[in-house]
Amino acid sequence: MASTWQNWSGKLTASPSALHYLRTEADAAALAAHAASTGQVIRPAGSAHSHYPLLPTSDILVDTGGLSGVVSTNARTKQAVVMAGSNIYALGLPLHRAGLGLANQGDIDRQSIGGAVGTGTHGTGATLGNLSSAVVGATIALASGELVHCDQTHLPDLWRLAQLNLGAVGIVTKLDLQLVDTFKLRQTSWEATIDDLLADVEQHMAEHRHFEFFWYPTTGQCVAKATNVTTDEPQYPMGPEGDRCGWNFEVLPNHRDWPHTEMEYSVPADQGLACLAAIREVLATEFPTMPYPIEYRSVAQDDLWISSATGRSTVTISVHMDVRQDEEACFRRCEEVFATFEGRPHWGKIHYRSGQELAELYPMWRRWWEVRDHYDPEGTFLNEPLSALRP
């Protein structure tokens, strides 16, 4: 009998013939081989927080949450091996106890680390890369049934793919992460009108380790948030968002319980304000009652094959919509604007781009597919929406 499944927002649903809960790497390898040998599609799921239909399948959906925990840490290299199904929140304390931490993380920490890496999840900070850029190695259960480790020197093409893999090459069982020394942060926030905030926004982006703002289009008001390293002692209980002092993994993540869907595009950092102005114009003239926030963040340049920050310092602009509303008209119109700024979509959020268009935006998109096809020639790890992205 088919199981029922839905993603975090409830907007995506599926009826997989099997919902499989992994607890061991051996099971992952055997399951991948079973799917391949029986001609079934298999999709590895983390915490199902993606808005793009990366996961739905009528065949096998795998919950990787049982592959959880810190395997090892190395104080000299500041690296750790973690199980890929670990929720990010579950990594904070054990890594901290080993004197280590993620250099940055996203707005929430409910995702699995495997899922966050799988889509290039990021936080904010002009000098800070996304989570995929911290991946220095990976262990993957392939469709062949092999469990292989890859890094910069061993199977380097597979490693490049693993850094941002869309769950399309295998079940990632472990990730080797480059970390930093654990650090404390103090966070402050303030309200301002969009015009007042934009007057100083470049300065804020440059001055603060982490800076972002949410702009509410119908009121013109913004909430800005700055977070910086501190030597101050943590203050418990942890304060509300925007007024906190504590360890990195305590301060950066927030609680988001508003069921929404989202489009996010990355544009070259020096185009961020012009792009925001263009989005502002479209919302004011065509969607004047759209009350949901627009989020503005920055991500450092990297050299990952399909990172939205590859080859360029980046500003990300997110458009949100209540899950009960139809987002398509607004998102498509915003996407037209993002396209004029060479915008690259977030892999885990809504976009309507074709494989050909993605090949123009991501120079290594074709290479990514070549390597993927080499390790999974029968397409065991591809559902229909993923297959449709082939260039």
Ligand X SMILES: Cc1cc2nc3c(=O)[nH]c(=O)nc-3n(C[C@H](O)[C@H](O)[C@H](O)COP(=O)(O)OP(=O)(O)OC[C@H]3O[C@@H](n4cnc5c(N)ncnc54)[C@H](O)[C@@H]3O)c2cc1C
Separation CA 134–CA 118 (nearest Å): 12
What's the half-sphere exposure (Cβ side, CA atoms, 13 Å) at 127? 8
**What is the token pair recorded at 183?**
């650090």
* Nearest distance, CB of residue 290 and ligand X, angstroms: 19
Closer of 290 and 309 to ligand X (Cβ):
309
- Contacts with ligand X: how many residues (CB under 6 A)? 34
Q: Which of the ranges 160-168, 183-191, 225-233, 272-280 carries the binding residues for ligand X, by CB under 6 A?
A: 160-168
**What is the token pair recorded at 82?**
């973690």
Separation CA 250–CA 96 (nearest Å): 11
Residues 69-128 that bind ligand X (CB under 6 A): 84-85, 106-108, 111-112, 114-116, 118-119, 121-122
Residue 54 binding ligand X, by CB under 6 A: yes
**What is the token pair recorded at 75?**
């104080």
Q: Which of the ranges 45-53, 215-223, 333-341, 352-360 carries the binding residues for ligand X, by CB under 6 A?
A: 45-53
Q: Which of the ranges 42-50, 69-77, 200-208, 327-335 carries the binding residues for ligand X, by CB under 6 A?
A: 42-50
* Nearest distance, CB of residue 200 and ligand X, angstroms: 23
What's the half-sphere exposure (Cβ side, CA atoms, 13 Å) at 173? 22
Closer of 107 and 176 to ligand X (Cβ):
107
Separation CA 235–CA 244 (nearest Å): 7
* Nearest distance, CB of residue 256 and ligand X, angstroms: 4
- Find, among 342, 306, 356, the residue nearest to 160 by Cα: 306
Residue 8 binding ligand X, by CB under 6 A: yes
Contacting ligand X (CB under 6 A), which of 53, 129, 167, 246?
Answer: 167
Residue appearing with tokens 């913004």: 222
Residue 64 binding ligand X, by CB under 6 A: yes
DSSP string computed for 18-59: EEEE---HHHHHHHHHHHHHTT--EEEESS---SSSSS--SS
Q: Which residues bind ligand X (CB under 6 A)?
A: 8, 43-50, 54-55, 64, 84-85, 106-108, 111-112, 114-116, 118-119, 121-122, 165-167, 171-172, 256, 346, 348
